[in-house]
Amino acid sequence: MTTNYPPPAGSTIISGTANVTGYVDLEDEPLLSLYDYVSRQAKGNIETLGRIEQVILQRMEERGATAIPDETYTCESPLRYDYPPGCFSPLLEIFNDVELSECYTAAHKELVPEHYEDVLETWETRKVLSLAAKRGHEAMDVIEARRQPKSRTLIFKRRVVQ
């Protein structure tokens, strides 16, 4: 006989953790039924949370904002970008040798035990962005033309009120 019910009388759920002593005396069937009930509730809450997050992100997008200002909550979604391999190559013609030495490693062969392996060119993105900003429009135009927006994630927390 399957029973679907909330936590048994005498037990409590406080801040997401159960008073375990209220469950220790349960037989297997009621314990499993309770687990099923709580897991379905949690799944429903996670789905609802996801839908609410989509609405929040959509509002930010509609407003062209990266945050929703509020006194009680921090709610933001900073814009982040990916840079595909090779996208910084035009900067080889813009940056000088000193700048390149700070952010670029050319493709090369590297000796590993008993053979050589090809190593692709690498760019240190943070340094590239910093140098491009210092260089101005010519370098920043290369960056902006090639960057690809990452999917946005929500940063949400209640502010600590003192």
Q: What is the pLDDT of residues 72-129, one digit of tens each?
A: 999 999 989 999 988 999 999 999 999 999 999 998 988 888 889 988 899 999 999 9
Q: Residue with structure tokens 């407003």?
A: 63
Instruction: Work out whether strand 104-105 and strand 122-123 pair parallel, antiparallel, or are unpaired.
Output: antiparallel
Dihedral over Cα of 93, 94, 96, 100: its sign: negative
SS3 state of residue 121: coil
For the segment 136-141, the average pLDDT, to the nearest whole number, is 96
- Work out the pLDDT band at 62, boundaries 50, 70, 90: very high
Give this prediction's pTM. 0.57
| 14-36 pLDDT, tens digit each | 445 555 667 888 889 988 998 99
d(CA 76, CA 79): 10
pLDDT for residue 7: 57
pLDDT for residue 15: 47
Q: What percent of the chain has pLDDT over 70?
A: 86
d(CA 62, CA 50): 18
Name the more confident of 36 and 9: 36
d(CA 128, CA 142): 11
d(CA 98, CA 36): 63
Q: Compute how many other C-beta atoms are within 10 angstroms of the C-beta atom of residue 91.
A: 22
pLDDT for residue 160: 84
Dihedral over Cα of 17, 23, 27, 29: its sign: negative
Report yes or no: 118 and 109 within 8 Å, Cβ to Cβ.
yes
Q: What percent of the chain has pLDDT over 90?
A: 64
pLDDT for residue 161: 72
